[in-house]
Amino acid sequence: RMGRTLVELYYDVISPYSWLAFEVLCRYRHIWNIELRFRPAFLGGIMQQTGNKPPAMLPKRGEYMLKDMKRMAKYYQVPVHMSGDDFKRIIGTSSLAAMRFITAMDMTNPQYLEPLSREFWMRFWSQHEDISQPESILAAARQAGVSAELSQKTLEMISSPAVKDRLKETTAEALKHGAFGMPAVVAHYDGKPHLFFGSDRLELLGSVIGEKWLGPVPS
């Protein structure tokens, strides 16, 4: 497949819309002529740097988001189960340790990056479990098929400067491309980067890179 378009997905597992984009892009990577690259970044850092606020901070928007997510989950066939108290849960949960863990895995054993990221979303958004504590991080890794030994070793890496710096650098790259939230999808096409924000712009992404959109669940 000559001249594949590089598509980068900047995501954080605290973001349910990132999960939708992740699954749809995973389905399209063998249909479209793209090279899909996962870029784990820190949403908290992006919000802080851009002065953005979580949608749920505006009550009306939070109400809408609940309904929207229910419809999107069904349409995209991704098991996001969202309820009103999830907003408290999101605001009360830091994804920093999880994103450092995912980053450390990407640096050492990238073959686990996809199943591991999916597992964190499953835990937080489908099973309503914690993802911020070391034992919950290890449980997610176990579910993703990572050995206990490797999980433990990876967990020890999360406080290392190398891992912290890598996560900061990836987050800074997302910001440089113009990201203000997640998911941030960047297509490198025609010699320049094109930013698409959100999980509902993938049809537009296809149009820009000359690929046919077949819906969120292409058969």
**Closest residue by Cα to residue 93 from 69, 58, 128, 51:** 128
User: In this structure, are residues 218 and 203 in contact, taking their beta carbons and an 8 Å threshold?
Assistant: no
Active site includes 15?
yes
Please tell me which residue in 15, 95, 117, 199 is annotated as part of the active site: 15
Distance CA 134, CA 24 (A): 29
**Active-site residues: which are they?**
15
